[in-house]
A and B are shown apart, each in its own frame.
Chain A
Amino acid sequence: MRATTPLRESAPARGHLPPRPDILAPHICADGPEPTDTNAVPALRPGPRRGRWHRLRRWLGAVLVLAVLLGMLTGWRAESLVFGLPAVVLGAMLPLLLPRVPGWRLSLRGALAFALWFAVQSVRGAVDVARRAFAPDMGLRPGFRPYPLTLPQGAPRVMFANTITLLPGTLCAEIEGDMLIVHMLDTRMALEPELAALEGRIRALFALPPNPELCQ
């Protein structure tokens, strides 16, 4: 099963050809490295074949994930395939209809370290906010702070924004271009060191080079 034709045109963006302007939207900083470059391998094959193979691999990957999910949810019963099989096949095609995002990969060691750190931080954040909720004087001085984004577009940024919400006292309120608007429960707390540390962990998680000082 292959993807439908309208998607084929987006395939060359994967190689070293110039990125399509409508995919890498105006948020991207002008002088920073192009995000797809961080993961792109030298093009050994001509563009179209590579793109087709890439889409097939993406689709098969989605089929595998959905099939395992279905199996675990239904206890591997054969009769669940009546509805399950069409659902898996169609569900796996959904990512192909969405706009392309820059590719990314995870580092296993980074992921393990991140999971552990994530657990500790979510406990810290929850204990902090629970203490404030029960304290007579909640110790609030809420306000917004901007924070410049240096992570590449796509999964790393989404991960960054969502994890900020779990850190003690911070909440990702909005992303305006390359600027993140963070809401703080107490603006007297230091923001930059915490977020810079988180950024370093996200870079380790996605196997990105350590802070190349873009956009600053």
Chain B
Amino acid sequence: MLEGFGAILIAMGAVFFVAGTVGLLRFPDIFCRLHALTKADGLGLALIALGVALLAGTAGAAFRVALVWFFVAIASATCSHLIARYARHGAGGVP
């Protein structure tokens, strides 16, 4: 039961990662691409982390997975802000 639920969560997370990648390829400029990467991949990682934490079973492993999610979430928002700022300042030739 718990395994099935965890597997469903991981599969849903993978769908969001695919969506983020499709957005990265299809969206017209760097800023729109950042939207796809930060939002879709962020939720994808959260779902996969939740699924893995359910499958892992022990509290220590779940805590480590939660830490991974937490630091990636902060880093992803900060990175997208930095990339957007760099692109806005006319770092010429960024597609």
Contacts and interface: CB of A to CB of B under 8 A. Distances in A.
Interface of A: 69, 72-73, 75, 122-123, 125-126, 128-130, 132-134, 138, 140, 142, 161-162, 165-166, 168-169, 171-174, 181, 183, 185
A138 B27 contact: yes
6 contacts: A126-B16, A126-B40, A162-B78, A165-B38, A165-B80, A165-B81
Where chain B touches its partner, the secondary structure class is helix
Given A130-B20, A133-B26, A171-B38, 6 more contacts: A125-B43, A128-B39, A129-B39, A162-B77, A162-B81, A168-B39
B19 A129 contact: yes
Contact of A126 (B42, B64, B78, B84): B42
B84 A173 contact: yes
B23 A130 contact: yes
Interface in B13-34: 15-16, 19-20, 22-23, 26-29, 31-32, 34
A89 to B, nearest CB: 21
A72 B63 contact: yes
Contacts of A122: 39, 42-43, 46
A129 to B, nearest CB: 5
Pairs of residues from A and B, 7 with the lowest C-beta to C-beta distance, nearest first:
A130-B19, A126-B43, A133-B23, A173-B84, A162-B77, A125-B39, A133-B22
Contacts of B20: 129-130, 133
Contact of A142 (B32, B40, B44, B88): B32
Contacts of A123: 43
A169 B20 CA distance: 14
A63 to B, nearest CB: 18
Contacts of A165: 38-39, 77, 80-81
A75 B63 CA distance: 11
Contacts of A166: 38-39, 42, 77
A173 B88 contact: yes
A180 B95 CA distance: 23
A134 B22 contact: yes
B39 A142 contact: no
